[in-house]
A and B are shown apart, each in its own frame.
Chain A
Amino acid sequence: MIVFENVSKTYETGTPALNGINLRIEKGEFVFIVGNSGSGKSTLIKLLLKELEPSSGRIYVNNKQLNRMRRRQIPKYRRGLGVVFQDFRLLKDRNVYENIAFAQRVIGTPARIIRRQVPAMLSLVGLAEKYKSYPKQLSGGEQQRVALARALVNNPAILLADEPTGNLDPKNSWEIMRLLEEINKRGTTVLVVTHNQEIVDAMKKRVITMHKGLITSDEKKSGYRQ
């Protein structure tokens, strides 16, 4: 499903971020990516989003080689991905409902389908009552759940989450993680970048550890559950 072949990335500033990454993630997997600050985790996510181009090497997603993809094909490719960030990135001038509906408007979903699917997503993340609230009226955990609902409403094959719990307290962090696990059970491949060791240890998933732009370990924890 996702394959990295000898991928390196050096930023225009000359900073090396990835130094020959080889990685294979199967369809339906749940994978944690951990590592020190600056080890290249976000860079890896950005390459998958095609926000960045690798300096060398090849990346395949669903057997499509990203480097070969034309500019015009990028929007279509991204529609198959869901993304969640540490800072939520909601639209501040639109309410919860509109934030989620936005993801469907962008891809031209008919209004009648939007009206059906947005409430379903809201109840999945437990925010059915708050659909009229604006982001600033919500707690961090609630905002991240909105972001998650937005990432999932188009039913992506892959969910990329870059430190989704970085700004959340333990209780909210766990809630987000449970949601991610739930989504994974429904068939979505999930990649989570996190610094939260406790969660990683407890969830018993595949853990990829990065250090200075290299993968230093890739293990399925004892008691690993797919």
Chain B
Amino acid sequence: MRFNTIIYCLKQGIKNIFRNKLFSLASISTMAACIFLFGLFYSIVMNIQYMIDEAQDAICVTVFFEPGTSETRISVIGEQIALRPEVASVEYTSADEAWESFKEVYFEGNEEYARAFMGDNPLANHSSYAIYMKDASLQENLVEYLETIPDIRKINKSDLTANSFADFGILVGYVSGAIILILLAVAVFLISNTVSVGITVRREEISIMKLIGATDFFVKAPFLVEGILIGLLGAAIPLAVIYYLYGNVVGYILDKFSILNSIMVFLPVEQVFHSLLPVGLVLGVGIGFLGSSATTRKHLRV
């Protein structure tokens, strides 16, 4: 196809948008609302996912041993635990290491008190394994297993905030998915309507084009351009708005609910947009293309 023809089709497509302003505007707004909500949920889900990941990395089960359990026995238990499917990694902390880090934390600046213990390790029976899991939800399984191992004195597990966190994330995901699907359907419908109004208005023009020897593609292209542009505009506008709002909202939350700072970690806007921008734009263009191509195919069979 020639360059001229491409330019011509682009121009005609843009003209189409202005020729039926009202419909174009309705389509762009619906599209924008749809992509806005999508972007909103997308950011929320991404942040929740991020927080879950962060929280999960910190979640571990710690096990301590009965007094007098031999070093060999302890390392055998460690190997067994490492073989469990739930387990991502196991970290051994010997009694001496435990004492060292305890000293660091509690006698900081007053090392002379620690010396009072004179090389006697008061944490002699505090060697431990910190067990990190592949997924926080596997914690229950693992704990059940650990309880069956003799020589284990004590199991420290994390409270289950992470699990409820994950449930919340899934819920938000489903709800937003449903809302977005409905909105997408509405957007496709509106774009298809806009294009079909355009086609009806230009029935005669189209039939003349055909008689003069226009290819199907030449007849369709302006309508496809129209649909794609509507989709593109409908995606670009809300994405820009979200980009602008994101930092402000995150700042506001951190400011107003400063207690949350310890559990709430937010992704920087660039990281969210790294995937949201292409996904949003492709979604917009895709919907525009789908809506208009289905309609042209239906109406332009001459």
Binding site for B on A (CB under 8 A): 49, 51, 75-79, 81, 83, 89, 91, 102-103, 105-111, 150, 154
Contact = CB atoms under 8 A, between A and B. Distances in A.
Nearest to A99: B208
A83 B211 contact: yes
Contact of A91 (B4, B205, B216): B205
9 contacts: A49-B211, A75-B218, A89-B204, A102-B212, A107-B214, A108-B2, A108-B218, A110-B2, A111-B4
The residue in B2, B5, B213, B216 that gathers the most chain A C-beta atoms within 10 A of its C-beta is B213
B1 interface: yes
Nearest to B3: A110
Contact of A106 (B1, B204, B218): B218
Contact of A108 (B4, B204, B209, B212): B4
A206 to B, nearest CB: 25
Contact of B8 (A79, A81, A105, A154): A105
Given A75-B214, A78-B213, A106-B218, A91 B208 contact: yes
A2 to B, nearest CB: 17
A79 B214 CA distance: 8
Q: How large is the interface on B (under 10, 10 to 19, 20 to 34, 35 or more residues)?
A: 10 to 19
Closest 10 pairs between A and B when the two form their complex, measured CB to CB: A79-B213, A78-B213, A106-B214, A108-B2, A75-B215, A108-B5, A75-B213, A106-B212, A103-B212, A105-B8
B211 A107 contact: no
A121 to B, nearest CB: 14
Interface in B244-294: none
Contacts, number: 48
Contacts of B4: 105, 108-111
B212 A78 contact: yes
A200 to B, nearest CB: 25
Given A89-B204, A91-B205, A106-B218, A78 B211 contact: yes
Contacts of A105: 4-5, 8
Contacts of A91: 205, 208
A91 B202 CA distance: 10
Given A75-B210, A75-B214, 7 more contacts: A49-B211, A75-B213, A76-B213, A78-B212, A105-B8, A108-B4, A108-B5
Contacts of A76: 213
A106 B210 CA distance: 9
A83 B214 CA distance: 14
Contacts of B214: 75, 106-107
Contacts of A110: 2, 4
Interface in B1-44: 1-2, 4-5, 8
A108 B1 contact: yes
A111 B7 CA distance: 11
Given A105-B4, A111-B4, A89 B208 contact: yes
B5 to A, nearest CB: 5
A107 B212 CA distance: 8
A154 B1 CA distance: 18
A91 B203 CA distance: 11
The residue in A76, A79, A103, A106 that gathers the most chain B C-beta atoms within 10 A of its C-beta is A106
A110 B7 CA distance: 11
Contacts of B213: 75-79, 81, 106-107, 154
